Structures are given as C-alpha cells and as structure tokens.
Amino acid sequence: MKKRILLLAGGQSGEHEVSLSSARSVLNALPRDQFDVTPVAISKQGRWLPPTETRQALESGAAVSGGDLVLHRVASAEGYDAVFPLLHGPMGEDGTIQGLLTLAGIPFVGSGVLGSAVSMDKVMTKQVLASAGIPQVEWRLAVRREWHGDPESVRARAAELGYPLFVKPANLGSSVGISKVRGPEELDAALTLAFGLDRRVILEAMTAHKPRELEVGVLGNDAPIASPVGELRFASEFYDYETKYTEGRAEVHIPAPIPTEVAERVREGALQAFRALDCAGLARVDFFYVEETGELLLNEVNTMPGFTQTSMYPKLFEASGLGYSELVTRLVELALDER
C-alpha cells in the first residue's frame, strides 16, 4: 500500500518562499510508486490552502492570503500516514506545528516539540550545548523589556563582549534581523532592529579572525549519522540574507578543504549536539572554524534546513552517495520508525 503523505510548505515566517521552493523539489522527488503526496501551502497569514490554491502557490512561489483555519485542515489530515512539515523559522520549525501534529496523533518528519523549540532559540541552544561541553562563542541574552527600561544595562553586556559583535533575534533564520556591529556607535540601531522582530535578542562575540564556515548534515533518530563536511565561501562580510539567496554570491565546497582531523571533530560535535538537543530525523549543524588557532565553535542547529535540490543539506548527503530521492524517502521512513 502506498503511504499517504501530507507535505506542508510556505508558512508565516520570513522564509515562506524558500520553503515553497524546497517543497517543489521534495514533491517531485518522493517516488510515486511508494507515496501518495498531498501538498498543502500555508499562507503568510497562517491559513491552510485548498488544493487548487496550493498548486498556484507552489507555481508562483508565494501564498499571500486565502485558506482555512488550521484546525479544520488538521481534522481532514486524519488518514495521512505522515506529515512532512517543510516549514522554516517561527510557526513551523519551532515546535508549534510539531505540537499540533503530536496532538493530532500524526507522525511527522523531523524533530519533535522539544528538539524543534530548543534548536530554534539561539539562546536555549547555547545553554543546552554549553552544558554538553560543546565550544561556542561568548554570548549574552537581552530581553525587550530591558532594552526599553534600562538600555544602559544592555549596552554594558555588549561592552563585556567587545567589538565587533553580532546582534541577532533569538528565534529567526535566514540571517533576518542580524547585524554585525563594528563599534558602540552601531549598537543601538542593531538592537532596535532585532527587538523589532523578537522579544529575546542574543549578543555574540566574534572570534579574533574571520572564521571559516563549515556545515554538516545529520540524519537519523536515536542512532544518527553525519554527512561529509561542507564549507561556504563568500565575499560579503558575513553570510547575510542577500548572500544566502542571490545566485552566485556564495560558493559551496564539498568536502570542505580542511584536515581530516577537523572534519572528524565537526562530525562528532554535530552528532553530540543532535543528541543533546533531542533532535530527530534531520538537522544541519553549522560551525565556525578558526584556522589560525584550530578552534572549532558550534554556531547553530537548523532542524528543517533549506531543502531544494541545490541546498547544502541534500548536497552533503549526495556526496556520501545518498541521492535526493533516497534522502526524502529515508526521512519519511524515519518519521514512521519507532525512535
């Protein structure tokens, strides 16, 4: 019997369009003889679109409005064997959809409520990984109320880290709302931007040298495996939104030209982080590598990484011999497996 799969895409985050293009690739790649796939696009307002509008959204690359309240759609989602929530960022990758699917009793691809929620929040991730002994940059948390009530205390935290530093909304992706702050005169603008997008903001120190950026894929549930390591290279000052989504701005090197010993540390660290965060199914784990000192710092864990045919995560597994189609099939199998 064919498995019935519900593929969710779009959603309310800034990564709506990225998600729809990932979904197009996955839809084409799930073998028709094994799976009966129904795509449902979620609009930018969070409404679930009926089939015709979903098809239009997949073609045009955006679903701006229309659709049903989520609860109506979940009721009609009964009868699916599994859901592939191919959603990035808040209201999709952060445990909210995962909670809804858990309540509905439908198995789904990827991490559960806990792993999704903790991995989405850059501060919670850092706290959990610190307790697992995984090296990371120095950081400080600030909440919006402090920024409004006592901005000096927030500025003092930045001064402790020194400049340049990074200011980021705690719960976003795709570099949205992230600033590299070169000195105190740039700090307030960066904090205002980040607090406009999130209640919680993380301030992060930078390493002394511009780090190299390494990424590795993890696949599995309680016995996960790591892919070869990849490297991103780009000319811009950091891997910002434009660099991520403008064709030709970044180069991907797989395998990363690094010593075997460093690649092993990346893979080991990624698996350790995956377990510590209680991730499942898949994750892309990103590191900073400071060549001058040999230092390897874990930057973040993405529980639903970009998933087009040319995205880093599928490319990493392709390099180890697992093609795109086999990879998405494996992910659905993992969703149906006992953990």
Residues interacting with ligand ADP, by CB under 6 A?
Answer: 137, 166, 168, 172-175, 178, 204, 206, 211, 213, 238-239, 286, 288, 299-300
Q: Within 13 A of 293's CA, how many CA atoms are on the CB side? A: 11
User: Per-residue x/- marks for Mg ion, 97-136, CB under 5 A?
Assistant: ----------------------------------------
The two three-digit tokens of residue 58, written as one number: 């997949």
Q: How far apart are the first and last CA of the chain?
A: 23
Min. distance of Cβ 297 from Mg ion in angstroms?
13
What is each CA distance from 127 to 130, 131, 136, 283, 302, in whole angstroms?
5, 6, 10, 18, 16
Min. distance of Cβ 132 from ligand ADP in angstroms?
18
Min. distance of Cβ 137 from ligand ADP in angstroms?
4
* Residue whose entry in the numeric block shows the structure tokens 């028709």: 32
Min. distance of Cβ 299 from Mg ion in angstroms?
6
Q: Which of 173, 220, 228, 314 binds Mg ion (CB under 5 A)?
A: 173
CA 322, CA 316: separation in Å to the nearest integer? 9
What are the residues whose beta carbons fall under 8 Å from the beta carbon of 255, sequence distance 6 or more?
A: 228, 229, 230, 263, 319
Say which entry of Mg ion, ligand ADP, none residue 137 contacts (CB below 5 to 8 A, set by partner kind).
ligand ADP
Question: 59 or 237, CB closer to ligand ADP?
Answer: 237
Question: 125 or 227, CB closer to ligand ADP?
Answer: 125
Question: 12 or 54, CB closer to ligand ADP?
Answer: 12
Say which entry of ligand ADP, Mg ion, none residue 306 contacts (CB below 5 to 8 A, set by partner kind).
none
Query: Exposure string (b/e) for 17-52, b if CB count within 10 Å is 16 or more?
Result: bbbbbbbbbbbebbeeeebebebbbbbbeebbbeee
Min. distance of Cβ 227 from ligand ADP in angstroms?
18
Say whether residue 211 binds Mg ion (CB under 5 A): no
Say whether residue 90 binds Mg ion (CB under 5 A): no
Q: Which of 205, 200, 118 is nearest to 165 (CA)?
A: 205
Say which entry of Mg ion, ligand ADP, none residue 331 contacts (CB below 5 to 8 A, set by partner kind).
none
Min. distance of Cβ 111 from ligand ADP in angstroms?
15
The two three-digit tokens of residue 165, written as one number: 């530093």
Over the Cα atoms of the chain, what is R_g? 20
Q: Which of 182, 187, 198, 186 is nearest to 122 (CA)?
A: 198
180 has which bridge partners? 166
Question: 5 or 312, CB closer to Mg ion?
Answer: 312
Q: Quick one: angle between helices 324-336 and 16-29, nearest 10? A: 100
Could you tell me whether strands 212-220 and 281-290 are parallel, antiparallel, or unpaired per DSSP bridges? antiparallel
The interface region with Mg ion, picked from 53-61, 161-169, 179-187, 299-307 by CB under 5 A, is: 299-307
7 has which bridge partners? 39, 84
Say which entry of ligand ADP, Mg ion, none residue 213 contacts (CB below 5 to 8 A, set by partner kind).
ligand ADP
Question: 70 or 297, CB closer to ligand ADP?
Answer: 297
Min. distance of Cβ 204 from ligand ADP in angstroms?
4
Say which entry of Mg ion, ligand ADP, none residue 211 contacts (CB below 5 to 8 A, set by partner kind).
ligand ADP
Please give the residue ranges that form the binding site for Mg ion (CB under 5 A): 173, 300, 302
